Amino acid sequence: MSLQGGPVSSEPRILAGRYRVEGLIGEGGMTRVHRGTDEKLGRTIAIKLLKQEYARDTVFRNRFRLEAQSASRMAHPSIARVYDTGEVVEKVGSRDVTTPFIVMEHVEGTRLSDKLEYGPVAPQEAVQYLDGVLDALAYAHRAGVIHRDLKPANIMITDSGVKVLDFGIARAVAEHASTVAEAADVLGSADYFSPEQAKGEPIDARTDIYSAGIVLYELLAGRPPFHGDSAVAVAYQHVAETPTVPSSINSESPGGLDAVVLRALAKDPFQRFPDATTFREELDAAATGREPSRRQISSLTDALYGPNPRQALETQRSLRQLSSDTTMVRTQQGPPVAWIWAAVAFIGVIVLSLLIWVVTLQPFSAEPTNAVVVPDVIASDHEQAIEELQGLSLLVAEVDEASRDVPEGRVIRTDPAVGTSMSPGGSITVVVSEGFEGVEVPELVGESQKDAAEALDEAGLGVGIVTPRNDPEAEKGVVLSASADAGEEVMAGSDVNLVVATGEVAISDYTGFTVAAAVEDLEALGLTVETAEDGECEATDPATVSDQSLDAGDVEVGSSIELTTCSG
């Protein structure tokens, strides 16, 4: 996991009867990483042990173990492999302490964070490194695993390319931490948080797209786009600040990559690249394409980071939450003139709003106002509500809307809302429930994607997001699961998300494994395994695999693979 070794433990331990714990090679917010040896297979490994303060928490310990097991299903050349997980019970004083551990591939190389200590890297290197990262993300997201803590410290540069470490393990921290500052303390930095992570909102694969964009930015500019005196200060900027393009910080950074960075760092997840594969394609195209003009970059910045009411409201809500941390200090620099004009514009908007409010609600007249206040008619019978509103001299329009929660014929809401002051003769819309027209979800699991789509269409439902997933026991295109169970009643016209089998499984590089262990693993994945001996190669251990006919990665279910051993 690191180039540097550490002190050898005075009392070497054996975990699960086979993993010998050796010197400390790294330490994070919640784990310690040791070099180790798998005595059964005779190979060097890395062993990640959860620190005692987290191991005492049963809920956290279980989350940590489950996420590690999820990550262990992945086998990809750009992802550090998780071989095994377990727990060890040890005496600490008079108490028994249960400590989870993860057995991982030992990666020799240099952390990307160490390279960045010397400043930005060459643009072609930056693109090459991020290509490897995005390739790993694309594979992991297909397997249903989100990294959540992608940063240069979790990216290793090896002789064979890039290796991404610690997939999925950060989820336990995200669900355990109650504040941004607490999560940053454990994970190590808020520099690579996505806006939705900073706001404590649900996340999906697009949060990894944002973090990969931050890594690309740092590779090009030599530093992350946002920096502050505290985790909350940085989180504030992720939510509210517009990043400066890398080429304006580092003149060696190609302007063609600025648009890619801006897209990856969009505050709204829907404005980012939809997946890692698209991100990589756009990155490679921009690296060799024509550079956009300043006007084009400015237009893209406005489109991605310009104000819109919904985002403004979300930002206000988020900042109120973040501001509970008194260490929040704004550190992002900007041109003084821009701030002056921004302040003038802000004051102008306030003055204009006050004038409109005064003119509308407080007429310059000695006569008492005759404004009416919209009464609370929510959940009332719509006919009674309309009669009451008309009695206040309001013009009423009625609109129907399906609702699962409000009974048919009852008022869902009004526009303007209850409590709003209106002038007599003003128009108001009453939204009335037309009830809930429910339809039963047909049987989808086990059907082909085509048949499932036809069944949904016949039921008056649609196909939502289709997520591909590897499964050794399912043919390509078979539905593995759905967002609604068969027989469940859902709103007519709504969409049902599907998880569909890819028809592939992920195999590892079994070089160095014993033949018995490799055959057992491959047959569990549904592959047909053959063995062969090579009498021309030098035998180091005739019981271990020296070569395999299929490369590590995704292969078709039921494929045949030949494992070779040396017998020379």
Q: Structural domain boundaries of the chain?
A: 1-108, 112-169+190-333, 372-433, 438-502, 505-566
- Active site includes 534? no
Question: Hey, which bits of 320-452 come out as E strands?
Answer: 372-373, 395-401, 411-415, 421-422, 427-433, 438-440
Report the b/e string of 495-521 with b at 16+ CB within 10 A: ebebbbbbbbbbbbebebbbbeebbeb
SS3 495: strand
Considering all CA atoms of the chain, what is the largest pairwise distance in Å, rounded to the nearest integer? 109
Residue-wise pLDDT tens digits, 312-351? 445 445 444 444 444 444 434 444 444 455 566 667 667 6
Contact call for residues 245 and 237 (beta carbons, < 8 A): no
Superfamily of domain 1-108, CATH level 4: Phosphorylase Kinase; domain 1 (3.30.200.20)
Whether residue 123 is preceded by a cis peptide bond, meaning omega within 30 degrees of 0, is no
The residues facing 400 across adjacent strands are 432
In whole angstroms, give the CA distance from residue 482 to residue 445.
7
Residue-level pLDDT at 353: 66
pLDDT reported for residue 69 = 72
Q: What is the pLDDT of residues 34-55, one digit of tens each?
A: 999 998 888 899 998 888 777 7
The CA-atom distances, in angstroms, between 157 and each of 110, 161, 425 are 5, 6, 71
| Distance (Å, whole) CA 436 – CA 419 | 28
Using DSSP bridges, classify how beta strands 427-433 and 479-482 pair: parallel, antiparallel or unpaired.
unpaired
**Which pLDDT does position 474 carry in this prediction?**
87
- Residue 158 CB partners (closer than 8 Å, separation 6+): 107, 108, 109
What is the distance, to the nearest Å, from the Cα of residue 377 to the centroid of all Cα atoms in its chain?
A: 42
Closest by CA to 77, choosing from 564, 558, 550, 566, is 550
Same fold, 372-433 and 438-502: yes
H-state helical runs in 29-108? 52-55, 58-71
Report CA dihedral (150, 156, 161, 167) to the nearest 10 degrees. -40
The reported pLDDT for the residue numbered 185 is 46
Give 112-169+190-333's CATH code, choosing from 1.10.1760.20, 1.10.510.10, 3.30.360.10, 3.40.50.720: 1.10.510.10
Secondary structure percentages of the chain, helix, strand, coil, to 5: 35, 25, 40
CA angle 170, 171, 174 (to 5 degrees): 90
The per-residue pLDDT for 526 is 87
Domain 438-502: assigned CATH number: 3.30.10.20
Which of the listed CATH numbers 3.30.10.20, 3.30.470.30, 3.60.20.10, 3.40.50.720 matches domain 372-433? 3.30.10.20
pTM over the 0.85 mark: no
Domain 505-566 falls under CATH 2.60.120.580 = no
CB contact at 8 A, 170 and 149? yes
Determine contact, residues 93/7, Cβ cutoff 8 Å: no
What are the residue ranges of helices labelled H in 433-529?
A: 449-458, 515-524
Q: DSSP 3-state assignment of 499?
A: strand
Strand partners, 61: none
| Residues of the chain where predicted confidence (pLDDT) is lower than 70 | 1-12, 29, 59, 63, 66-67, 92-93, 168-189, 290-291, 293, 296, 299, 303, 306-346, 348-349, 351-370, 538-542, 568
Q: How far apart are CA 395 and CA 20, in angstroms?
A: 80
Name the pairing type of β-strands 427-433 and 462-469: unpaired
One-letter amino acid of 478: V
Catalytic pick among 84, 149, 166, 471: 149
The token pair at 417 is 């809302």
What's the CA gap between 419 and 21, in Å, rounded? 67
How far is Cα 385 from Cα 72, in angstroms, rounded to an integer? 59
> Among residues 151, 145, 200, which one has the least CA distance to residue 176?
200
